[in-house]
Amino acid sequence: MSLHPFAIELLQFVLLLGLAPAFAGWVKILKCRAQGRTAPGILQPYRDIRRLFGKDIVLAENASWIFRFTPYLVFGVTAVAAGIIPLLSVDLPLSATADVIALVMLFGIVRFFTALAGMDIGTAFGGMGSSREMMIASLAEPAMLMAVFTVSLASNSSSLTQMVAVMGQAEFAIRPSLAFALAAFIMIALAETGRIPVDNPATHLELTMVHEAMILEYSGRHLALFEWAGMMKLTIFFALGIAAFSPWGIAADGDIGALLLAFGLLVFKLAVGALIMVLIETGLAKMRLFRLPEYLGSAFLLATLGMIAFFILE
């Protein structure tokens, strides 16, 4: 028995929407454990979101429509991105909407409008956050592209489904190029999702804030949308990493058994991925802002080395 592609699409959409808070909760649990603190339950993010949805909105006097529109747009774009990445099956009708590059650019929209929203009120914090975010993005983007380039070299495509299909069926081989690209990807993903050592999602200190500074003025459902979108973004980046570097197990069609297997593997991979990330986060300290060029430069270097290794060694 197999599911219709549109059903898979819908399933996946719901899955990502629904699973993202749980995943964020899982990360939080791991992190607390790693730091020897008592962890909240895995459902805590759901409760947070629900609570925020219930709250009233306090808006600054001079907030324009950009400010109010941005949360919806951010959420919308993230949700669309969620429909594109093959989580369970390759057979997605919407996956052709965007290849990896377009996907990255979709997050560009999110960033663009978040940064604008940060500047809308006219406080120094918002401007600071926007300015830093755009700088980090501008340095992360080339590195991201090189990583994508390397993977697309291996699979001869920049389309995600195609990558998954090719890589998932390829015979096992040690590929230094992919190893480098993965390392680069992890570094960039940390930067893009605002994790340590690039940004600290759990702080509101002037010196370290980047992402939080932009959405400092938000409240109520706007904030809820931002939070939810952020969780989804984190999950999507993990999914992207899984699709590009460890696609084994993602179903080739809509067969239920395969889908179930894929789901199980996905949960496992996400759990392991979260563990890796938490280890990195716990092991590192937040960097000074102006050390970031070197950090992202190293990511770029790794990605480039991956590409070079592909040409030289493979």
Contact 92, 250 (CB under 8 A): no
115 lies in the site for other proteins, by CB under 8 A: yes
- Selected from 123, 280, 286, 287, the binder of other proteins by CB under 8 A is 123
CB of 81 to other proteins, least distance (A): 9
96 lies in the site for other proteins, by CB under 8 A: yes
Task: With residue 66 as reference, give the H or E element that holds it.
Answer: helix 65-82
Task: With residue 94 as reference, give the H or E element that holds it.
Answer: none
Residue 47 or 55: the one with the smaller Cβ distance to other proteins is 55
Residue 135 or 258: the one with the smaller Cβ distance to other proteins is 135
CA distance 31 to 47: 19
Sign of CA dihedral 157, 245, 274, 146: negative
CA distance 159 to 240: 12
41 lies in the site for other proteins, by CB under 8 A: no
CB of 304 to other proteins, least distance (A): 6
- Candidates 25-33, 128-136, 239-247, 252-260: pick the segment binding other proteins (CB under 8 A): 128-136
143 lies in the site for other proteins, by CB under 8 A: yes
- Candidates 136-144, 193-201, 233-241, 280-288: pick the segment binding other proteins (CB under 8 A): 136-144
CA distance 129 to 209: 7
Nearest 5°: phi and psi at 196?
-60, 140
Contacts of other proteins in 170-209 (CB under 8 A): 173-177, 179-180
CB of 179 to other proteins, least distance (A): 7
Residue 115 or 270: the one with the smaller Cβ distance to other proteins is 115
Q: How many Cβ atoms are within 10 Å of 211's Cβ, its own excluded?
A: 23
CA distance 52 to 121: 21
132 lies in the site for other proteins, by CB under 8 A: yes
Peptide bond just before 197 cis, omega within 30 deg? yes
307 lies in the site for other proteins, by CB under 8 A: yes
Contact 143, 184 (CB under 8 A): yes
300 lies in the site for other proteins, by CB under 8 A: yes
Using only the alpha carbons of the chain, give its radius of gyration: 19
Residue 39 or 119: the one with the smaller Cβ distance to other proteins is 119
122 lies in the site for other proteins, by CB under 8 A: yes
CA distance 284 to 125: 25
55 lies in the site for other proteins, by CB under 8 A: yes
Q: How many Cβ atoms are within 10 Å of 93's Cβ, its own excluded?
A: 12
Residue 99 or 199: the one with the smaller Cβ distance to other proteins is 99
261 lies in the site for other proteins, by CB under 8 A: no
- Selected from 121, 181, 259, 274, the binder of other proteins by CB under 8 A is 121
225 lies in the site for other proteins, by CB under 8 A: yes
- Selected from 12, 159, 208, 235, the binder of other proteins by CB under 8 A is 159
DSSP three-state, residue 40: coil
CA distance 34 to 268: 19
Place of tokens 């290794």: 309
CA distance 151 to 196: 25
5 lies in the site for other proteins, by CB under 8 A: no
Residue 114 or 246: the one with the smaller Cβ distance to other proteins is 114
- Candidates 18-26, 53-61, 249-257, 267-275: pick the segment binding other proteins (CB under 8 A): 53-61
152 lies in the site for other proteins, by CB under 8 A: yes
